[in-house]
Amino acid sequence: MAPEQRRFGSHGGTKMTTILALFRNETFHLCYSIAGAALLLFPMLGLSRWYHASMRRTAGGRAAGEKQKAIGPYARELGAGLRLGRDLTRGRYGGEARSIYKRALLFTAIWIAVVAVWWGLLIWADEMNKVPAG
């Protein structure tokens, strides 16, 4: 058995070939893209609802919410928003608000990784399935 076959298993590149064939199918490609759009939207909607509802249940969370409203949505106040996040992380608004904030950060980091892999696979498959010029 060749070293390449031992390293990648007895099937060699059939898994990769199967994945590439799936992405050549326009229906699969469309469904995958729609599922990716849902992956972008729905977890963040759910996280937002959970985060705001959970923070409103704590005194520290309510205080942080009031501080956030005072900061405003303008880019020039980005530093104040970052300080609020740092204060939440350090527990200045209470342990419960800190825990909620950290869970939201962890969920967001995992979500970013999943989205990157999801769309990266699509981009990779599209590149591999390109017909060479000439």
Domains in the chain: boundaries: 44-127
- Decide: 58 and 96 in contact? Cβ < 8 Å: yes
Give the Cα separation of 51 and 28 in Å (integer): 34
Give the Cα separation of 52 and 30 in Å (integer): 33
**Model confidence at 6, in pLDDT bands (50, 70, 90)?**
very low
Q: What is the pLDDT of residues 54-76, one digit of tens each?
A: 999 999 999 999 998 888 777 78
Q: Mean per-residue pLDDT for 48-59?
A: 96
Give the Cα separation of 11 and 90 in Å (integer): 51
What global pTM score does this model have?
Answer: 0.78
In this structure, the chain runs to a length of: 134
Identify the pLDDT of residue 132. Answer: 67
Q: Does the pLDDT value for residue 8 go beyond 80?
A: no
Q: What is the pLDDT of residues 13-33, one digit of tens each?
A: 688 888 899 999 999 999 999
Name the 3-class secondary structure at 57: coil
Identify the pLDDT of residue 76. Answer: 80
**Higher-confidence residue: 107 or 70?**
107
Give the Cα separation of 125 and 128 in Å (integer): 5
